[in-house]
């Protein structure tokens, strides 16, 4: 049996878990191609206009798989943390895909919803495995193996690799030398920052300037949560909490020379979170910050120019005056 996994949305966080689970159960896992122009164009053509870019691109990935597999895995990911949700667009994803794309194979459209607790984890896992076997022991065994893979993956990220490096099987032998370089904190939804096509390869572009790129996934969850908790109200969007906590923590770290927020057009969560982050950084720190927004029409030249200007400013500051800021109260002091 061939199971298709679209390389979009939370693929970048969970693909080791999902692929291991299905493979241990005996299925052949087929991934969609990496995002390319055809996938983006197909997604844009086959999704409602007001969807955000990542949702459109996800549709393109499903189209890429639909004639190659027996089942396509499109989970309805409502919540993965207690008292939090991911995004309203994730909650209706299988329905949106079914109504937008014709001639789909059968779909594994299980609901993943842990907002009350993880008590229904076992039922969810069983439902996911039952598309391949009804043998509960086999399903439990496969999930145990998959969890181990997931933990290994998370450990690699903690050791300094980014999901994009693990996916490419890149061994960063020089992780320590990377750590000695000037650091840039790149934040954004994983499907924006780790998708090389959508992000216009921003990670590699920054590395070519001899910068060490870290992301929200490079920080410990406890640190992120503690920093996010300084908000007056609890952030109930998981992405929002993670991005806020990472930015608040990052803006206090001396070795981080600048913060880039990569957002996609049409994201309601980003429009709020990016604004809060930008205001806090401008008010409470002298860190350079830039918001880059991508959509299906974004030209690479424009993004390159903005990255180049940002990096130039950081390098100039490093060489000249450490405390010189292009904004806020520090400006008047010089
Ligand atoms: S969080 Fe934003 S970018 Fe992600 S699916 Fe929701 S609206 Fe789209």
* Contact criterion met (CB below 8 Å) for 183 and 211: yes
**pLDDT at 235 (0 to 100):** 82
**Domain co-membership, 175 together with 312:** yes
**Domain co-membership, 114 together with 178:** no
Q: Is 214 in the pocket of ligand 1 (CB under 6 A)?
A: no
Sheet strands side by side (includes 106-108): 28-31, 2-5, 71-73, 106-108
Helical packing angle, 136-158 and 121-129, nearest 10°? 110
Residue nearest to atom 7 of ligand 1 (CA): 267
Question: How many domains does the structure of the chain reveal?
Answer: 2
Identify which has the larger pLDDT, 98 or 235. Answer: 98
**Domain co-membership, 172 together with 135:** no
- Over residues 38-54, the pLDDT tens digits come to 999 999 999 998 899 99
- Over residues 281-311, the pLDDT tens digits come to 999 998 999 999 998 877 888 889 999 999 9
**pLDDT at 82 (0 to 100):** 83
**Domain co-membership, 118 together with 179:** no
Distance between CA atoms of 328 and 282, rounded to whole angstroms? 6
- Over residues 72-94, the pLDDT tens digits come to 999 999 888 888 888 988 989 99
**Domain co-membership, 113 together with 171:** no
What is the token pair recorded at 225? 């949560």
Only one residue has tokens 């990542």, namely: 54
**Domain co-membership, 124 together with 174:** no
**pLDDT at 168 (0 to 100):** 75
**Which residue in 194, 247, 195, 240 sits closest to 219, CA to CA?**
247
Is pLDDT above 70 for 230?
yes
**pLDDT at 179 (0 to 100):** 54
For residue 126, the domain's CATH number is 3.40.50
Alpha helices (H) along 168-292: 175-180, 190-193, 202-208, 221-228, 238-250, 268-284
Q: Is 89 in the pocket of ligand 1 (CB under 6 A)?
A: yes
- Over residues 89-107, the pLDDT tens digits come to 898 999 999 999 999 999 9
**Domain co-membership, 206 together with 142:** no
**Domain co-membership, 134 together with 269:** no
Q: Find the domain containing 109 and state its range.
A: 2-157
**Which residue in 25, 36, 22 sits closest to 72, CA to CA?**
22
Which residue, 102, 130, 157, sits at the end of a domain?
A: 157
Of ligand 1's listed atoms, the one at least distance from the Cα of 237 is: 1
Burial of 127: CB neighbours in 10 Å, binned 0-12, 13-18, 19+: middle
- Over residues 127-151, the pLDDT tens digits come to 999 999 999 999 999 999 999 999 9
Q: Is 3 in the pocket of ligand 1 (CB under 6 A)?
A: no
- Over residues 152-182, the pLDDT tens digits come to 999 898 888 888 888 877 655 555 545 567 8
pTM greater than the 0.85 cutoff: yes
Residue nearest to atom 2 of ligand 1 (CA): 267
**Domain co-membership, 136 together with 261:** no
């Amino acid at each position: 049996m061939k199971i298709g996994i679209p390389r979009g949305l939370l693929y970048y966080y969970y693909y080791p878990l999902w692929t291991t689970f299905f493979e241990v159960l005996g299925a052949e896992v087929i991934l969609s191609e990496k995002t390319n122009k055809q996938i983006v164009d197909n997604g844009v053509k086959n999704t409602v206009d007001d969807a955000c870019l990542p949702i459109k691109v996800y549709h393109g990935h499903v189209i890429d798989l639909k004639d190659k597999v027996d089942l396509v895995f499109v989970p309805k990911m409502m919540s993965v943390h207690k008292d939090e949700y991911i995004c309203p667009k994730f909650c209706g994803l299988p329905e949106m895909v079914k109504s937008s794309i014709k001639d789909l194979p059968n779909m594994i459209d299980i609901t993943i919803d842990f907002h009350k607790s993880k008590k229904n984890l076992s039922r969810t896992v069983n439902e996911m495995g039952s598309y391949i076997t009804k043998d509960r022991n086999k399903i439990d065994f496969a999930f145990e193996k998959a969890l181990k893979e997931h933990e290994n993956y998370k450990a690699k990220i903690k050791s300094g690799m980014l999901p994009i490096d693990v996916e490419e099987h890149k061994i960063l032998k020089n992780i320590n030398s990377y750590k000695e370089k000037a650091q840039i904190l790149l934040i954004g939804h994983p499907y924006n920052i780790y998708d090389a096509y959508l992000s216009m390869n921003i990670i590699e572009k920054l590395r070519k300037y001899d910068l060490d790129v870290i992301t929200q996934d490079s920080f410990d969850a406890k640190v992120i949560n503690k920093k996010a908790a300084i908000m007056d109200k609890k952030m109930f969007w998981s992405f929002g909490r993670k991005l806020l906590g990472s930015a608040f923590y990052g803006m206090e770290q001396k070795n981080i020379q600048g913060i880039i927020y990569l957002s996609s057009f049409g994201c309601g969560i980003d429009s709020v979170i990016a604004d809060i982050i930008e205001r806090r950084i401008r008010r409470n720190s002298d860190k350079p910050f830039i918001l880059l927004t991508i959509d299906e029409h974004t030209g690479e030249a424009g993004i390159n120019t903005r990255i180049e200007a940002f990096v130039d400013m950081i390098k100039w500051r490093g060489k000249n005056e450490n405390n010189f800021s292009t904004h806020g109260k520090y400006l008047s002091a010089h």
